[in-house]
Amino acid sequence: MATEQESIQPEILDDVDMSEHEKDYSEKGFWDKVQNYAAKAGVTLIYKALQLYYVAQSPECPKKVKAAIYSALGYFILPLDIIPDVTPVVGFSDDLAAIAMALALAQAYITPEIEAQAKDRIVSIFGAKALAKLEG
């Protein structure tokens, strides 16, 4: 039985312009954002962004899903977005929404190995205790 996330198909992207934020994505920009805003963004958002980053590297991930991922990560990287990241409490909520949408499309391609890569990076950024926040 397919889960709700697995039932989302890349074909829904056919009429969506993915190029708006895809041009803002770069690997350097992604890692700079993760490094500079990890504490403010929080473990959960960074973990989800890392999952997207690693699944986009997978050859099994379709191009349309990769386009959605790069668009979401491009939006995450942007210093100016709908809700500025420096806004207390809600600053990353729009970034989380963009990442959650891409994650829903990519979920079927996220393997245990990709989850392990993302968790390993979380440990290197936040320390081992941060994993408890992901499971709790």
Can you give the residue ranges of every domain in the chain?
Answer: 21-135
Does pLDDT of 40 surpass 50?
A: yes
Q: Quick one: pLDDT at residue 17?
A: 53
Is residue 61 a contact partner of residue 39, using CB atoms and an 8 Å limit?
no
Does pLDDT of 34 surpass 90?
A: no
Residue 6: pLDDT band (50, 70, 90) is very low
Higher pLDDT, 100 or 83: 100
d(CA 33, CA 105): 23
Is residue 40 a contact partner of residue 91, using CB atoms and an 8 Å limit?
yes
